[in-house]
Amino acid sequence: MKIKDYLRTDFFPNVWCAGCGNGIVLRSTLEAIKSLEIPKDEIAMVSGIGCSSRATGYVDFHTIHSLHGRAIPVAIGVRAAKPNMKVLVITGDGDCSSIGGNHLIHAARRNIDLTVIVFNNEIYGMTGGQVSPTTPYAARTTTTPLGNPEKSFDICSLVMGAGATFVARGTVFHVHQLIKFIKEAINHKGFSLIDVVTPCPVYYGRMNRYEDGITMIKEIKEKAVTVEKARSLSENELEGKTVIGLLKKEEKDEFLQSYLSFYNTKKEASDGTAV
Amino acid sequence: MRRLVQGNEACAQAAIKAGLSFFAGYPITPSSEIAEVISRYLPYKRGIFMQMEDEIASINAIIGAALAGARVMTATSGPGFSLMQEGIGYAVMVEAPIVLVNIQRGGPSTGLPTEVSQGDLMQSRWGSHGDFLCIVLSPSSVQEMYELTYEAFNLAKRFRAPVIVLSDEVVGHLREGVDFDNISLSPIVERLKPEVPPGSYYPFEPSFNGVPPLPEYGTGYRFHVTGLFHNYKGFPTSDKKEISNLMDRLQNKIKHHIKEFFKLEEYQTEDADILFVSYGITARSALEAVNILRRQGIKAGNLKLITLNPIDEEVISSILENREMIFVAELNMGQLVLDIKRLGCKNSIYAINRYDGDILTPQQLVDEVRKRIQVGAGN
């Protein structure tokens, strides 16, 4: 299989702007799937709303472009209907941590077997560059023209606290590492999330005086600190840095496994067929 | 065997009988018993029950499961129904066969959680944004709750569309003897499967009466769905012709086949000068009111609507014809009456409304009729 075999090229050209990192994240996802040799028919990919979420249209799996924030519950439904299918969620920072925040934490809590890939560009791109929960403090957006007064969200910490069993952060610069994380996440039994730092040159870049996508990716590279190195750095030294790497991995019972094992050990109630 | 069964339990059992394989819901009075009964029985039928984090998650989870191949349902009441509105529109757009039960309680807002209302009729027709159409069914007894919930699954698959069972707190909590062995149910309708190989299948290309087949996931047919306007391939479009074609088809696939599913029940209407129009629990009071009025020498009758949306306007108009007075009884501030006034404009049409959390009693309906007759005689 070639990467092209995973694409619906008749749905091209894509909607993404020049310099956007979304294509890199999607390519990395497809590389991971390709190297795992999972048949296309055994993969479902669900997305919400936003620039990132358009990705599902371009790939030849069972794909759902759902509502804003609702990719995770839709994906849970798919998994309940097809427990053996690999279900991936493509989402953005606003989609999953703002409007879909409730679903994110509860999916993590249940440790339901989904692989969530967050295209984190720290801004609402599709609607024209408004502030998102992951926009850095003081950054300018179209709704924080004088700088963002809010503290930003760390999606990885959020889902680790909620009970996710595989959590990693990658960037569109560290592509080989990103592919490795996505592969591991897909193979992981339980809720996995990869927070991928990716640039939005058109909105975030323009509002914050970055020349182009390349400049932004260079800065993503410079800001990145491995999780191993971060352990030896003080809080002050970590200020403004992005900790990348495998943040959490543990084996715990997965939701559907637990559900089925609860009932498989018990007998049907005597009145179970009463009607 | 006759059994004493609660309306909500009958709803749950009907869903299981219809082959329910995934239920997602969130606790809310007065619908919670549906989830409770399903959580108890469904696992033994190899189905999955999930209590979600909210109603938004519930409707979206059943949409995902429906697209993948499951037979799905959720149940809720007023506030939860409001939260599900966006999901209903999405289900219409991606043509997901889902069943949604709304056990109506008093509203707006938190309203009257434990008391009855029929205030969500218009919301079930128009609640989601944009023009959309879904079938709405209204049971007035425990047995009908069983029959219509079962039927809702067949209609959802037949039309590849959401179907709403719009019941109310009284029917939901009512306990009645039901002889389940003697209920005749139509066979389970299977979702339409493609007759073409995967390469030539398109998820929004209608092959049968405007309804596109919907293959299960994992069977070789991979397709894309989106809430955006889309072409027959499922890809977003802004082509004006494709948009209007889609809008027309989503309505017509149901409207053009209304005769297949539209249901009403007439009681003593043949010679009736006075006609009640009612649905749900209010129809039960109207039947008794007809009996009382008949004993008093007044020729009364009742038209009970079972399908509340879409309605067969021709059929209803013909029943409304040549009546002296028509009384539309409902537990809201006047919703179905708007249709009846439109369809029976030459008649004297009166609304009988109650919206304090109690039902309209037969005596109240009788009193309203007698009051109007006296006013008429006084003139």
State pLDDT tens for residues B168-186: 999 999 999 999 999 999 9
- Retrieve residue B350's tokens: 């009166």
Please state the domain extents for chain A. 20-246
Question: Do β-strands A166-171 and A192-197 pair in parallel, antiparallel, or remain unpaired?
Answer: parallel
Number of Cβ pairs < 8 A linking chain A and chain B: 145
| B72-96: average pLDDT | 98
Residue B28, φ and ψ in degrees, nearest 5: -160, 135
Contact B340, B277 (CB under 8 A): yes
- When CB atoms are compared, the residue of A56, A61, A73 closest to B61 is A73
Q: How far apart are CA A87 and CA A64, in angstroms?
A: 11
Q: Say if residue B52 is exposed, middle or buried (CB neighbours under 10 Å; 0-12, 13-18, 19+).
A: buried
pLDDT, one tens digit per residue, over B63-83 is 999 999 999 999 999 999 999
In CATH, what number does A20-246 get?
3.40.50.970
pLDDT, one tens digit per residue, over B244-287 is 999 999 999 999 999 999 999 999 999 999 999 999 999 999 99
This complex has an ipTM of: 0.97
Asked if A74 and B60 come within 8 Å (Cβ–Cβ), the reply is yes
Q: How far apart are CA B45 and CA B37, in angstroms?
A: 13
Q: Which helix (H) or strand (E) holds A203?
A: none
Residue A249, φ and ψ in degrees, nearest 5: -150, 120
Q: Is the pLDDT of residue B379 over 70?
A: no
| B310-317: average pLDDT | 98
Q: Say if residue A9 is exposed, middle or buried (CB neighbours under 10 Å; 0-12, 13-18, 19+).
A: exposed
Report the pLDDT value the prediction gives residue A275, as an integer from 0 to 100. Answer: 37
Report the pLDDT value the prediction gives residue A234, as an integer from 0 to 100. Answer: 96
Q: Please, which pLDDT band fits residue A273 given cuts at 50, 70 and 90?
A: very low
Q: Which residues of B touch A85 (CB under 8 A)?
A: 68, 217-218
Residue A168: how many other CB atoms lie within 10 Å: 24
Tell me the percentage of chain B whose pLDDT exceeds 70.
Answer: 99
- When CB atoms are compared, the residue of B70, B222, B236 closest to A40 is B222
Report the pLDDT value the prediction gives residue B291, as an integer from 0 to 100. Answer: 98
Q: Please, which pLDDT band fits residue A90 given cuts at 50, 70 and 90?
A: very high
Mutate to test the interface with A, among B40, B53, B204 (most CBs of A within 10 A): B53
Smallest CA–CA distance from B233 into chain A, residue: A11
| B211-215: average pLDDT | 96
Smallest CA–CA distance from B85 into chain A, residue: A67
DSSP B294-344: HHTT--EEEEEESEEES--HHHHHHHHTT-SEEEEEESSSSSHHHHHHHHT
Report the pLDDT value the prediction gives residue A269, as an integer from 0 to 100. Answer: 59
Burial A90-114 (b: 16+ CB within 10 A, else e): bbbbbbbbbbbbbbbbbbbbbbbbb
| A84-103: average pLDDT | 98
Is some CB atom of chain A closer than 8 A to the CB atom of B201?
no
| DSSP conformation class of B171 | H
Question: Domains (ranges, CATH) in chain B?
Answer: 2-182 (3.40.50.970), 265-378 (3.40.50.920)
- Retrieve residue B104's tokens: 């109506």
pLDDT, one tens digit per residue, over A7-45 is 999 999 999 999 999 999 999 999 999 999 999 999 999
Residue B313, φ and ψ in degrees, nearest 5: -65, -40
- Retrieve residue A168's tokens: 């990693």
- When CB atoms are compared, the residue of B44, B220, B227 closest to A65 is B227
Q: How far apart are CA A106 and CA A166, in angstroms?
A: 15
Amino acid at B262: F
Q: How far apart are CA A174 and CA A188, in angstroms?
A: 21
Burial B251-272 (b: 16+ CB within 10 A, else e): bebbeebbeebbebeebbbeeb
Give Cα separations from B89 to B96, B250, B310 (angstroms). Answer: 10, 11, 16
Q: Is the pLDDT of residue B377 over 90?
A: no
Q: Is the pLDDT of residue A270 over 70?
A: no
Q: How far apart are CA A226 and CA A246, in angstroms?
A: 9
The rounded mean pLDDT for chain B is 96
The torsion of the CA quartet A135, A139, A145, A146, rounded to 10 degrees, works out to 130
Which residues 110-169 of chain B have a CB within 8 Å of chain A?
none
SS3 of A188, please? coil
Give Cα separations from B101 to B12, B25, B75 (angstroms). Answer: 10, 10, 4
Q: Which helix (H) or strand (E) holds A182?
A: helix A175-187
Q: Is the pLDDT of residue A263 over 90?
A: no
Q: Say if residue B238 is exposed, middle or buried (CB neighbours under 10 Å; 0-12, 13-18, 19+).
A: exposed
Dihedral (CA of B320, B325, B330, B332) sign: positive
Q: Is the pLDDT of residue A265 over 90?
A: no
Question: Do β-strands B2-6 and A242-249 pair in parallel, antiparallel, or remain unpaired?
Answer: unpaired
Amino acid at A50: G
DSSP B52-73: -SSHHHHHHHHHHHHHHT--EE
Contact A62, B68 (CB under 8 A): yes
Asked if A77 and B222 come within 8 Å (Cβ–Cβ), the reply is no
Q: Which residues of B touch A8 (CB under 8 A)?
A: 224
- By C-alpha distance, which of B234, B46, B379, B315 is closest to A63? B234
Q: Which helix (H) or strand (E) holds B106?
A: strand B98-106
CB neighbours of B137 closer than 8 A, spacing ≥ 6? B148, B151, B152, B155, B163, B164, B165, B166, B263, B306, B307, B308
Give Cα separations from B316 to A133, B8, B261, B307, B311 (angstroms). Answer: 53, 29, 14, 11, 8
CB neighbours of B274 closer than 8 A, spacing ≥ 6? B293, B298, B299, B300, B301, B323, B324, B325, B326, B327, B369, B373
Q: Which residues of A touch B226 (CB under 8 A)?
A: 57, 64-65
Contact A243, A230 (CB under 8 A): yes
pLDDT, one tens digit per residue, over A161-204 is 999 999 999 999 999 999 999 999 999 999 999 999 999 999 99
Q: How far apart are CA A217 and CA A12, in angstroms?
A: 25
Tell me the percentage of chain A whose pLDDT exceeds 70.
Answer: 97
Give Cα separations from A48 to A9, A67, A103, A197, B118 (angstroms). Answer: 21, 5, 12, 18, 34
